[in-house]
Structure 1
Amino acid sequence: MEFRFQRRIRLAPGVRFHTTRLRPGLSLGPPGISLLIAGGEADEPLPVDLEITASGEVRYRQADGTRMTAAGAREVRRRAEAELREALGAHCEDLNAQLERLGRLHEQTPAPDATGYRPRSYPESPPVPVAETRPAWWQGLWAPARRRHDRENARRQAEHAQAYRAWEWRKAEFDAREFQRQRREDEASWDDPDAMQQTLVERLEELDWPRETLIDFALVDDYRTIALDIDLPGPEEMPDRRWSMPAKRIKLSPQRLTVTRQRQLYRDYLHGVAFRVLGAAFARLPRIELALVSGYRRLDDPAADGGGRRYLFSVKVSREQWQGLAFDELASLDPGEVLADFSLRREMTRGGELCDITPFEPDWRWR
Structure 2
Amino acid sequence: MGYRFRRAIKILPGVRLNLSKSGVSVSAGVKGASVTAGKKGVYANVGVPGSGLSYRTRIDKPGGSMKDRVDISHMRVPSTEDNVYFILDSAHRLLIQDDEGNNFTEEQAWRIRQHHWEDMTALLRMACARLNGPLLAITHIHESTPKPDSTFDWSLYYCPLDEPVPEEPCYQPITWLDRVLPWRRKAIDEANQRLESQYRREQVVWQRKVDEHEQQQRARWNDRFASVANATAFLYEVLGRLEWPHKVDTRLIVDSTMKRIALETHFPEITELPGIEYKVQEKEWRLISKGLTPTKKRKLYMHYVHGIGFRLIGEIFRAIPVQTVIFTGHTQRLNSATASFDEECLYSAKVSREAWQQVDFSTLDELSLPEVMATFDLRRNMTKTGIFRSVEPFSVISSEQLAMSL
TM range (shorter): 0.5 to 0.7
What is the SS of the residue equivalent to 2:327? strand
Q: TM-score, normalised by structure 1?
A: 0.56
Displacement of 1:330 in angstroms is: 2.5
Name the residue aligned to 1:21.
41
Matched-pair contact (CA < 8 Å) for 1:25–1:35 = no
What is the SS of the residue equivalent to 2:390? coil
- Which residue of the other structure, out of 230, 234, 242, is the alignment partner of 2:277? 242
Which whole-Å CA distance do the structure 2 matches of 1:94 and 1:244 have between them?
11
Displacement of 1:348 in angstroms is: 1.4
Which whole-Å CA distance do the structure 2 matches of 1:81 and 1:201 have between them?
54
Which whole-Å CA distance do the structure 2 matches of 1:241 and 1:98 have between them?
10
Name the residue aligned to 2:395.
361
Which whole-Å CA distance do the structure 2 matches of 1:227 and 1:324 have between them?
21
Matched-pair contact (CA < 8 Å) for 1:15–1:210 = no
Matched-pair contact (CA < 8 Å) for 2:72–2:127 = no
Correspondence list, 1:63-212, <5 A = 79=101, 90-117=126-153, 119=155, 187-189=223-225, 191=227, 193-194=229-230, 196-203=232-239, 205-207=241-243, 209-212=244-247
- Which residue of the other structure, out of 312, 321, 337, is the alignment partner of 2:355? 321
Name the residue aligned to 1:30.
67
CA pair 224-95 structure 1, distance change in 2 beyond 3 A: farther
CA pair 299-258 structure 1, distance change in 2 beyond 3 A: closer
Which whole-Å CA distance do the structure 1 matches of 2:374 and 2:24 have between them?
28
What is the SS of the residue equivalent to 2:388? coil
Which whole-Å CA distance do the structure 2 matches of 1:293 and 1:95 have between them?
32
What is the SS of the residue equivalent to 2:101? helix
Displacement of 1:92 in angstroms is: 2.6
CA pair 261-227 structure 1, distance change in 2 beyond 3 A: same
Name the residue aligned to 2:402.
none
What is the SS of the residue equivalent to 1:347? strand
Matched-pair contact (CA < 8 Å) for 2:236–2:252 = no
Correspondence list, 1:252-331, <5 A = 253-286=288-321, 288-299=322-333, 308-331=342-365
Which whole-Å CA distance do the structure 2 matches of 1:261 and 1:317 have between them?
28
Name the residue aligned to 2:173.
none
Name the residue aligned to 2:368.
334
- Output the aligned Cα RMSD: 4.8
Displacement of 1:97 in angstroms is: 4.6
Which whole-Å CA distance do the structure 2 matches of 1:277 and 1:37 have between them?
37
Which whole-Å CA distance do the structure 1 matches of 2:255 and 2:391 have between them?
23
Q: TM-score, normalised by structure 2?
A: 0.51
CA displacement, residues 272-305 of structure 1 (integer Å, 9 cap, x when unaligned): 111111100111112x21111111113568xx8x
Displacement of 1:264 in angstroms is: 1.9
Name the residue aligned to 2:378.
344
CA pair 255-18 structure 1, distance change in 2 beyond 3 A: farther
Query: Which consecutive unaligned segments of at least 5 residues does structure 1 have?
Result: 1-12, 39-50, 59-76, 123-175
Query: Which consecutive unaligned segments of at least 5 residues does structure 2 have?
Result: 1-21, 26-36, 44-56, 77-88, 94-98, 105-120, 159-211, 399-406
CA displacement, residues 315-366 of structure 1 (integer Å, 9 cap, x when unaligned): 11111221222223323322211111111110013543111111112147xx
In the alignment of these two chains, the number of paired residues is 266
Displacement of 1:195 in angstroms is: 5.2
Instruction: Among all aligned residue pairs of Structure 1 and Structure 2, give the percentage whose two residues are the same amino acid.
Output: 26
Displacement of 1:93 in angstroms is: 1.7
CA pair 311-185 structure 1, distance change in 2 beyond 3 A: farther
Displacement of 1:106 in angstroms is: 2.4
Amino acid across the alignment from 2:67: P
Correspondence list, 1:6-17, <5 A = none
CA displacement, residues 242-291 of structure 1 (integer Å, 9 cap, x when unaligned): 224666989853122343332221111111111111100111112x2111
Which whole-Å CA distance do the structure 1 matches of 2:300 and 2:147 have between them?
24
CA pair 89-183 structure 1, distance change in 2 beyond 3 A: farther
Which whole-Å CA distance do the structure 2 matches of 1:347 and 1:182 have between them?
46
CA pair 97-184 structure 1, distance change in 2 beyond 3 A: farther
Higher-Rg structure is: 2
Name the residue aligned to 1:9.
none
CA pair 317-259 structure 1, distance change in 2 beyond 3 A: same
Amino acid across the alignment from 2:41: R
CA pair 298-36 structure 1, distance change in 2 beyond 3 A: same
Matched-pair contact (CA < 8 Å) for 1:200–1:281 = no
Amino acid across the alignment from 1:21: G
**More strand per residue: 1 or 2?**
2
Name the residue aligned to 1:226.
261
CA pair 249-329 structure 1, distance change in 2 beyond 3 A: closer
Which whole-Å CA distance do the structure 2 matches of 1:200 and 1:98 have between them?
26
Which whole-Å CA distance do the structure 1 matches of 2:230 and 2:223 have between them?
12
Displacement of 1:223 in angstroms is: 2.2
Larger RCO, structure (CA 8 Å, separation 6 or more) = 1
Matched-pair contact (CA < 8 Å) for 1:22–1:87 = no
Amino acid across the alignment from 1:30: K
CA displacement, residues 50-78 of structure 1 (integer Å, 9 cap, x when unaligned): x97xxx689xxxxxxxxxxxxxxxxxx97
CA pair 329-31 structure 1, distance change in 2 beyond 3 A: closer
Q: Could you tell which deviates more after superposition, 335-344 or 260-269?
A: 260-269
